[in-house]
Amino acid sequence: MPDLLPILPKADCLVEPFVGGASVFLNTEYRRYILGDINPDLINLYRQIARWPDVVIDYARYLFKAYGDKDGYQWVRDDFNDRAHDILSSRNVFENGPDTGKIVRAAQFLYLNRHGYNGVVRYNQQGGYNVPFGRHKTPPYFPEEQIRLFSEKANDTKAIFVCCDFQSTLKIMIGSDAVIYCDPPYLPASDTANFTQYHTAPFGIKEHRQLAAALLDINRLTGSPVILSNSDTPATREIYHSFNFQEISVNRSVSANAITRGAASEVIGILKVATSTGICE
């Protein structure tokens, strides 16, 4: 984050097609935000926190207190998976109040993320959440203050949370005074580090090429600068060859593989405003 923030250009709106943990949203001061992700559970969590922070806090706090061990985690995960389709496809008939099903799912998702193995979010091909229980020296921290701050900022900026692929998120861009920041699944640094599942679908070389083409198109169409984060690999530099790269070293704390955690080489790519000839400045 310290390397990224000075690079992000000033603008009215920040567009993030891969919002993930929303750390950029929380650490920047744009007037408007369009935040997208293909994971419906993540977007549901953000939407419920934005509108009903107190209700989410109440449900989540109960889960943290009552289901702190491995058996409790397994029960919450099974219930989360059993009710997935019904909850996320439901419609709230009480428009002026919270949808209990979606509130419960948001609280469960937060609980699973905090209690699961090393903070990983992972699903099988059938859409079932399959992260095992994590080993914690102390009980996971309940982020009540962070929930309230997130809700306050989401409402102050009228943040738009959309559940869709990156192509659709880019099409939602409102006006031209916007910056696009993309933090897609990272290209593996080696054949043994191929951890590029994005929700229930793979995100590999093909998808990265599609993203690179889409970012070039939107840059030429709107003139919006584009910033990209990814691993520093030959494939990254080849696929995103139109970007100017800045190398950084980061400490990766979330990974499914203990070998890949720790210091890692990454790049921040910068695609500035396109010129009339189509060549970026």
Residues 22 and 88 in one domain: no
| Pairing between β-strand 160-163 and β-strand 201-202 as defined by DSSP bridges | unpaired
Residues 198 and 222 in one domain: yes
Residues 227 and 253 in one domain: yes
| Contact between 169 and 38 (Cβ < 8 Å) | no
DSSP code string of 4-30: TTTTSPP-SEEEESS-TT-HHHHT---
Secondary element (H or E) of residue 268:
strand 262-271
- Residue 122: pLDDT over 50: yes
Is residue 259 included in any domain, yes or no? yes
Closest CA to 110 of 62, 169, 160, 154: 62
| Contact between 239 and 195 (Cβ < 8 Å) | no
Residues 108 and 199 in one domain: no
Residues 122 and 173 in one domain: no
20: CB partners within 8 A, 6+ apart:
37, 42, 183
Strand ranges (DSSP E) for 135-243? 160-163, 178-182, 197-198, 201-202, 226-231
Chain mean position to CA 204: 17
- Residue 244: pLDDT over 60: yes
Residues 22 and 107 in one domain: no
Round to whole Å and give the CA distance between 69 and 67.
6
Is residue 177 included in any domain, yes or no? yes
Is residue 281 included in any domain, yes or no? no
Is residue 111 included in any domain, yes or no? yes
Domain count for the chain, please give it: 2
| Span 95-116, average pLDDT | 94
Domain range for 83 is 42-145
| Contact between 271 and 226 (Cβ < 8 Å) | yes
Q: What is the pLDDT of residue 88?
A: 59
| Contact between 246 and 267 (Cβ < 8 Å) | yes
Over residues 136-167, the pLDDT tens digits come to 999 999 999 999 999 999 999 999 999 999 99
Residues 26 and 47 in one domain: no
Is residue 28 included in any domain, yes or no? yes
Here the CATH number for the domain that contains residue 219 is 3.40.50.150
Residues 33 and 169 in one domain: yes
Secondary element (H or E) of residue 262:
strand 262-271
Q: What is the pLDDT of residue 281?
A: 45
Round to whole Å and give the CA distance between 129 and 40.
12
Confidence of residue 90 (pLDDT cuts 50, 70, 90): low
Over residues 182-236, the pLDDT tens digits come to 999 999 886 655 545 556 678 999 999 999 999 999 999 999 999 999 999 999 9
Highest mean pLDDT, choosing among 26-35, 120-129, 268-277: 26-35
Confidence of residue 91 (pLDDT cuts 50, 70, 90): low
